[in-house]
Amino acid sequence: QVQLQESGPGLVKPSDTLSLTCTVSGGSISPYYWSWIRQSPGKGLEWIGYIYYGGSTNYNPSLKSRVSISVDTSKNQFSLKLNSVTAADTAVYYCARYQQYFQHWGPGTLVTVSS
């Protein structure tokens, strides 16, 4: 059974870059797609983007100018970077296996943007 675990700082300062990593265990990161989703009280569930194990990506246009997702197959990990964050980026961030829908999710990690 594949398991996912998010990791990274829980507090980020405004205008800084939010960086999170998702570690996949119980299975290989290939040949699948992997995604980041966030959830905030104000905006609900929001799909951020996905990456194929080979490296191709697709991002939500609402975040495209600030987001980057990368993959490290040797570590069975993929990562999220979101730059120029504001308080509106405060949310629980989830990583998930993407099959157009999302069957396997990490437990989520709360990231707060505050000085």
Q: Which residues contact other proteins by CB under 8 A?
A: 44-47, 58, 60-62, 94, 96, 99-103, 105-108
Residue 115 CB, nearest approach to other proteins (Å): 27
For 80-110, give the DSSP string. Answer: EEE-S--GGG-EEEEEEEEESEEEEE---EE
Residue 16 CB, nearest approach to other proteins (Å): 25
Q: Give Cα 6 distance to the centre of its chain.
A: 8
Instruction: Give 31 or 42: the residue with its C-beta nearer to other proteins.
Output: 42
Residue 66 CB, nearest approach to other proteins (Å): 15
Residues linked to residue 3 through DSSP beta bridges, in sequence order: 25
